A and B are shown apart, each in its own frame.
Chain A
Amino acid sequence: MEIAAQPAETQEESVNYLNVNHTVKSWLLTLDHKRIGILYLLSISLFFLIGGIYASLIRLELVTPRGDLLTPEMYNRVFTMHGVIMIFFFLIPSIPATLGNFLLPLMLGAKDVAFPRLNLLSWYIFIIGGAMMMYTLVSGGIDTGWTFYPPYSSIYSNSQVTLAGVSIFITGFSSILTGLNFMVTIHTMRAPGLTWFRMPLFLWGMYSTSLIQILGTPVIAITVLALAFERTLQIGIFDPKLGGDPVLFQHMFWFYSHPAVYIMVIPGMGVISEIIASMTRKAIFGYHFVAFSSLAIAVFGFLVWGHHMFTSSQSMYQGLVFSLITYAVAIPSAIKTFNWVATIYKGSVSYDTPMIYALAFLGLFTIGGMTGLFLAAMGLDIHLHDTYFVVAHFHYVMVGGQIIAYLGGLHFWWPKMTGRMYSEIWGRISAVIIFLGFNLTFFPQFVLGYLGMPRRYHAYVPEFQTLHVLSSAGASILALGFLMPGIYLTASLFFGKKAEANPWQAYGLEWQTASPPPLENFTYDPVVTHEAYDFDSVKEIQEAREKVAVTA
């Protein structure tokens, strides 16, 4: 049977979305979700590199207590640009726009997203916003911190705040359009038999993320626009001198920007569910709970923004409510974590590169999440607010959670996306290096923050130097770890072994089609007949598919 099946396989491989047309025009005008996913991958990788260079400058500066590498003004610009680029141009689009774009229709058994033109438009909008941010960067940058708090940002800052605000405003539309597209696609284009509760958990994650993108992003867009108006036209909205209220900005900013953390991490959780299920060969324990916890995080995530404002003269009564809800939002995250651990328990675990990332995620995200509860406690937050403890906390969630999940997902679906296998050894080595480098970078920052090192300072008291040097040493290891996948993944495109349709023997529609997938994803009309993660059926489905291919 295998011999007979081979011609069909090679025939499928002969025309795929990558080799169907090689011209630049075919890429720039493509409506194929897979190609758009690749375009996003390339763009956000560039932004990650730029954001990473800024991060390196920050860590280099902090090696010594005296600010001797950068001037204070320059340092302000460097950490602001690091934050703005990483958050708005890498973390937020990373999983939804790259893996999401590539995988969502494949997982649904659809030929494309619901609105392919809108999908391409969202990439162009992203590029326009990104280009404006690049211009902001070369024309002086911004120095307000990524949070743009007025009245500094609206009146006093002598940097490109308006330009950066407009750039974020524009980029926001890219995010909204992607969310809209995904939501409509999931509602209307599921393959026959693919009920909501048969969907892979990655799709539940994407759906929840889309919800936040659609409901939250307009608020940040209007907030930065209002800031730009205040700055250019002196309309009093946030500046007390003009009759405005700076705390209003914080309310509006965090109404989006806290849920935005979930835009970043929920897709990561979806990726982790897929990896853990495939690498343990078990259905995710408590599938329904994990699915609904994504939605719960998305919804409750909108009710916690005030925990960023405990020390900003927000009402104490309001603070109490926000603190309580913040504690509550930890519950769905914990549900996920416990269910993942329960899935691994007695599973047939293979420690391939994606699984190493998934395991790293479990530990790092737990630390990141738990330290969030420290900060949600109103009393303790007064001590920890605006210290390195906060910096460490959100890097544990953002890097330890989101980026680790993104890299895990990228490795997991790389064979599907490119049709090539990467070097497994190098994959594992780099995953371990990233894990070690990450912890060495950010764990000392918890201690630094607890001891009182404020964030956003370019000089500090000499007592903190040892911890800062440890952190900077970790950052160099982390940078090396991040560079490695860039090298071996690129090398795999030229020298990698050809990937089979289903190299991990995973369950899911995306693994039933060729690697890389044909232009319209499937050479047949997929029908779903099994529950999610029914690994016992993988072989059966594969054999049935081969039979159909041979007879056809």
Chain B
Amino acid sequence: MSAHSEHHVVPVKVYLAIFGALMVGTALTVFVAQFNFGVLNVLIALTVACIKATLVILFFMHVAYSSRLTKVVIGAGIFWFAILIFMTITDYRVRQDWHVGLGSLEKPAAEQPAAPQPSGSGH
């Protein structure tokens, strides 16, 4: 509510600059997709996407000019999302250990991406 009272008028130039940056980001994603960086493929695509999302949140959604409380709310949302991702990904990372056995974890994916699943044995 109080955020409304301090309405910030953003110059059109800023919007255009952000729009330009978003377009560059999109072009970069498409361009990079033509090369195979192995495990870095997803990382690069997601990094560009995150930067673009941050720009949208900060400028198009006016968070950069909002009250500290609004920033805390946005931060909380991102933090909670990070909890979901972190705990889920750690499960994926260590789930194999249990089922395949310790030690076999160093090998998978990187060497033979298209290889059949590490092992169906014993299941």
Contact = CB atoms under 8 A, between A and B. Distances in A.
Interface string A247-268: 1100110010000000000000
Nearest to B84: A255
A315 B98 contact: yes
A494 interface: no
B91 interface: yes
Contacts of B95: 247, 313-315, 318
A316 interface: yes
Contacts of B77: 214-215
B84 A247 contact: no
A295 interface: no
Nearest to B95: A315
Majority-rule SS of B interface residues: helix
Majority-rule SS of A interface residues: helix
B91 A306 contact: yes
B28 to A, nearest CB: 26
B78 to A, nearest CB: 10
A314 B88 CA distance: 9
7 contacts: A216-B80, A251-B87, A251-B88, A302-B83, A306-B87, A313-B99, A317-B97
B1 A188 contact: yes
A252 B81 CA distance: 11
A315 B94 CA distance: 6
Contacts of A252: 84, 88
Contact of A248 (B76, B83, B88, B94): B88
A168 B93 CA distance: 31
Chain B interface residue number, banded: 10 to 19
A164 B99 CA distance: 35
A184 interface: yes
Interface in A287-324: 302-303, 305-306, 313-318
A248 B91 CA distance: 10
Contacts of A248: 88
Interface in A41-63: none
Contacts of B34: none
Contacts of B84: 219, 251-252, 255
A532 interface: no
Interface in A304-346: 305-306, 313-318
A459 B90 CA distance: 39
B36 interface: no
Contacts of A316: 98
B42 interface: no
Given A184-B1, A187-B69, A188-B2, A314 B80 contact: no
Contacts of B76: 215
A211 to B, nearest CB: 8
A318 B90 contact: yes
B87 A318 contact: yes
A188 B5 CA distance: 13
Contact of B83 (A187, A214, A303): A303
